Amino acid sequence: RKEPVTPPAKIPIHGELPLLAVPDTVLLPHERLTLTLEKEGEGRAVDAALSADRFIALVPDDGSPGSLAPRGTAARIEQMRRREDGSIRITVAGIARIERGELVRTEPYPVVRAVPVPAPEGSDIRIEALRRACLASLEDLFRSSPGAEILEVAGRVVLPRDAGKDD
């Protein structure tokens, strides 16, 4: 009998989370991400999360009307710094995948109903997050190195042959 590698998310999501729509960004559980926020509503959402349990919903958005993705990630705000120009820089850690439910309200900041989504059976989201982080580090390292073939070889080492086939 095969047990799932990653159990369903067991995090204290209280049903409603402040929402950050992040352009062209996907955060997986067990990954960290630093964001610079410039909109007033984003700052209010961060303040609300920090005054509660530090959880916030990060949902991909391409900026067009109605483009908010149906799934995102519940993240925990680990660091926050207000900058002199009025922007806010936060570091978040992905906690669990979530299904984006209805938008509860939009003012003074957006709040969404969030439902934890279990990881697919037989997969380990932590391994995928580590693989992506490793690949990004290798790309950064070899981008400044001469010879594009080095990056190609590194990609074959980090990416399994069947990567992306079931995406």
pLDDT tens-digit series, residues 105-144:
989 999 999 988 876 666 677 777 777 888 777 777 766 6
- Residue 155's pLDDT band (boundaries 50, 70, 90)? low
In this prediction, residue 111 carries a pLDDT of 93
* Spatial separation of the C-alpha atoms in residues 60 and 22, rounded to whole Å: 5
pLDDT in tens, 69-99: 899 999 999 999 999 999 999 999 999 889 9
Buried b (16+ CB within 10 A) or exposed e, 89-114: ebebbbbbbbebeeeeeeeebbbbbb
CA 59 to centroid of chain Cα atoms? 8
In this prediction, residue 165 carries a pLDDT of 45
In this prediction, residue 120 carries a pLDDT of 65
What is the dihedral sign for C-alpha 45, 47, 49, 51? negative
- Residue 156's pLDDT band (boundaries 50, 70, 90)? low
- Residue 150's pLDDT band (boundaries 50, 70, 90)? low
- CB half-sphere exposure, 127, CA atoms < 13 A: 11
